[in-house]
Homo-oligomer: A and B are copies of this chain.
Amino acid sequence: MTTDWPDIRVEIPPWAAELVARYPGPLDDATAMGVALALARGVMERGEGGPFGAVVVDAAGNLVAPGMNRVLAAGQSWAHAEMVALAVAQRRLGGHDLAVAPGAPLTLVTSGEPCAMCLGAIPWSGVARVVAGAREVDITTTGFDEGDKPAGGLEALTRRGIEIRRDVRRAEAARLLADYAAAGGTLY
């Protein structure tokens, strides 16, 4: 048995760092969603996996962290766009609870409604607000599995005091998913 275990490691790819640097901010919800969608398209166009992107923004609209699907790229099944954005935000702001981070309250902006795992992760992260583009049905129609969610789905977050806003640039977000499906992108 080894005693030399590999670190868990997920990196923001250079193309994504360059992409988000083009958005000086402050970002409103629609503009932040534009960044999330550009990240999603970036993953798809590079053949790095499913078209999912996210950003965390602070109360002033500054971009705190980008996130994008890294499941295939990093070989990590948990590395959904939302998880990556939240994890990078926590690394950058120095702690596991974004509720007490500089710039709080923070918002997670995601190109699609979070899956069951990401939905479970959101209350642990300390974000105060979630903004979503594509609806669950747009995602499942593509063939992606959203998992088994609690009653109410995304709405369940409101019972924990987390504000949700749906359908921000939904048509663009849904089109991206349809493009991925039409191109025969891998489903996993």
Interface string of A27-69 (1 = CB under 8 A from B): 0000000000000000000000000000000000011011000
Contact among B5, B10, B90, B149 with A66 in the assembled complex (CB-CB below 8 Å): B5
Contact among B72, B77, B91, B94 with A124 in the assembled complex (CB-CB below 8 Å): B77
Interface string of A72-110 (1 = CB under 8 A from B): 101111110001101110111011111000000000000
Q: How many residues on the A side are at the interface (Cβ–Cβ under 8 A)?
A: 64
CB-CB under 8 A for A20 and B1, given A123-B147, A124-B77:
yes
Interface check A156, CB cutoff 8 A: yes
Stretch at the interface among A112-120, A130-138, A165-173, A175-183: A112-120
Q: Is the CB of B7 within 8 A of A63?
A: no
Q: Is the CB of A120 within 8 A of B147?
A: yes
Q: Is the CB of A115 within 8 A of B120?
A: yes
Q: Is the CB of A91 within 8 A of B6?
A: yes
B-side contacts of A124, CB under 8 Å: 71, 77-78, 115, 117, 147
B-side contacts of A4, CB under 8 Å: 17
Q: Which residue of chain B lies nearest to A152 when distances are taken between CB atoms in the complex? A: B148
Which A positions have Cβ atoms within 8 angstroms of B?
1, 3-12, 17-18, 20-21, 23-25, 62-63, 65-66, 71-72, 74-79, 83-84, 86-88, 90-92, 94-98, 115-121, 123-126, 145, 147-151, 156, 159-160, 188
13 CB contacts below 8 A, A to B, read: A7-B11, A7-B12, A74-B96, A75-B96, A79-B96, A96-B188, A116-B116, A116-B120, A116-B150, A117-B117, A123-B148, A148-B151, A151-B151
